Amino acid sequence: MDFKQRITQLRTELNEHNHKYYVLNNPTISDQEFDSLMHELEVLEREHPELDDPYSPTHRVGSDLSQGFEQWNHKRRMLSLGNTYSVAEVEEYVRRCKDGLGGEDFQTVGEMKFDGTSISLHYEHGRLVRAVTRGDGEKGDVVTLNVITIRSIPLELKGTGWPEEFEIRGEIVLPWKEFDRLNAEREFNEEPLFANPRNAASGTIKMQNSAEVARRGLDAYFYYLLGDNLPFDNHYDNMMAAKEWGFKVSESMTLLHSIEDVVEFISHWDTARKQLPVATDGLVFKVNSLRQQLNLGFTAKSPRWAIAYKFQAERALTELKYVSFETGRSGVITPVANLEPVLLSGTIVKRASLHNEDIIRALDIHDHDMVYVEKGGEIIPKITGVNIESRSTTAQRVKFVSHCPACGTPLIRVDGEAAWVCPNRWGCVPQITGRVEHFVGRKMMNIDGIGEETVETLYNRGLISDISSLYHLRAEDLSTLEGWGERSAERVLQGIEQSKQVPFERVVYALSIPFVGETVARRVARAVGNIDALMSMPVEQLTAIEDVGPRIAQSIVEYFGDERNRTIVEKLRNAGVQMAMSEKSNAGRTDILAGKSLVISGTFALHSRDEYKEMIELNGGKNVGSISKKTDYLLAGDNMGPAKLEKATKLGIPIISEQQFLEMIAKTTE
């Protein structure tokens, strides 16, 4: 056997042994035998560098060279899942799916929800070509060199039958034993301990040193296969195929045939999960059929065909040390319970939001009470009760502040709202700096290098007074800051310059218009086209935009009714910030459906309901949820609701098929 054949053979054998050890938990050779084969391969590769392969088992140890991360746009958005916290809510999800499918039966797949960090792997011709983090759902960081070090991830696929090109998504986790080992090391070295395995995994995969990533002992489980030529038309069989190709798929993945099966699945894993080698925070239920998934579609944030069930939160009893009051960027005052530190769901909890005055009154909290703390969805700490028996007879009831804790302005309470607000929008420092922090955020203008402390420093030094001031910063302003140098200053200035290319819809979100979140900002920007139209639009026209109700519309009008906000917008415009939808964003837009309202009902074969909604908006139309005299068309699919069909027929509303709808748009485009 020549050296080429031996190198190929050794790589194949070592990959197989890695799979047996890290995926199947069933090693067939000793560690000493494995190390001997690895050593032989290392020697041969050193002697024949022309045969080097970056995916050789010898490269699993990573590199200690620093690396930057490029960003990659996801071909298919990586969305989060909607959450449920009771069996009744899961049953309601099942009912919604059945209604959305027009009464059609469906199978459910039950899975474990691992508590780690999401990853998307891309394979071509059986080899890993790219690993991308979730990022903001639209794009993420390419972390391929770090992912290569995770030994349970196949770099080259086993078996046959995989598509030439596909994507598989999963969760990178840090097993409990590795978490404990790393924290023991850090404690010995007097370094800060990791709070929980999730945070440790998330931080590790973004490290610049892949050799350190390899040392951490990350693992990965996979739960969703995507591509144009998948082997099966259902989720479960595709994942079983992925398992044969070498991916680590949880043994908990189960095909469920009834709601009784779902309930039993929840009951079993509520206890059994505590014996797993990795952290979990719930279960996931998915519609099995890919066709039915397509028909159910997505909301703005999550798929309608999947839901997460969160396990009952852990509860702990600890002492309330004091309540502090904090002012947010919108002026809302939030009371925060500062607690005697307590371990809860793997993390040390020291603070918990009390949300508003009504919550404080409902809990009847007194100074130094012993309070019950839970983590909502095992993530956000919250106070759920008070142990009154342990209360001191001299304890005083906690009172909500009457003046802003930051600027001393008397607070006001908006009619119908639970929150107290500081009205000093232009003179209250936390509001001013909070708006700047929001503006530079990743989902907004994405200006790297400016965090909370930097914003406060810049403001205190008089270098910024509002969001538009960022575009007047100079290198000499930044390089004099403590801990900064030319390189740090240059990075921030580059980020500010690059932010001038951020699309208009993100600019609208970045402006901190009260009640205008990411989705509403996108809807508004696409509907109005430019900032001048938005600034002059009355409430009546704004409420005609999808997802914009009277409260949001009034907030937009009031925002632009303030001359100071209009001045800031003009300064941003003069700095070069995008104040209109780009030609690229408007590409393919028509007005064929301008002024038309359409109702979508039933299931479809060619596109999902969400895709049809997007097409309607792209062509100037409006999606509405119910049929009325003002409805212009009913876009009807299979299994549509009989009530809608009857009402449309009675009102004489044209009923069109998806083929007719597509032809309507195609003619206009031509």
Task: Round to whole Å and give the CA distance between 560 and 204.
Answer: 44
Distances (CA, A) of 509 to 68, 472, 520, 522, 533: 28, 21, 8, 8, 16
User: Would you state the structure tokens that stand for residue 481, as one six-digit string?
Assistant: 């800051």
Contact by Cβ (8 Å): 350, 339: yes
Contact by Cβ (8 Å): 148, 60: yes
Contact by Cβ (8 Å): 273, 311: yes
| Three-state secondary structure readout of 622-668 | EECCCCCCCCCEEEECECCCHHHHHHHHHHCCCEECHHHHHHHHHHH
Task: Round to whole Å and give the CA distance between 274 and 276.
Answer: 6
If one counts every other C-beta atom within 10 angstroms of the C-beta of residue 364, the result is 12
Task: Round to whole Å and give the CA distance between 164 and 230.
Answer: 10
Distances (CA, A) of 357 to 37, 61, 323, 349, 362: 67, 54, 12, 22, 9
* Dihedral-angle region of residue 499 (phi above 0 means left; psi in -120 to 50 means alpha; beta otherwise): alpha
Residue of 20, 75, 98, 113 marked active site: 113
Token pair 């508590």 is found at 115
The H or E element spanning position 220 is strand 219-226
Contact by Cβ (8 Å): 542, 557: yes
Q: What are phi and psi of 271, to 5 degrees?
A: -105, -45
Query: How many Cα atoms occupy the beta-carbon half-sphere of 570 within 13 Å?
Result: 7
Task: Round to whole Å and give the CA distance between 597 and 614.
Answer: 13
Question: Is 650 tagged catalytic?
Answer: no
Please give the positions annotated as active site: 113
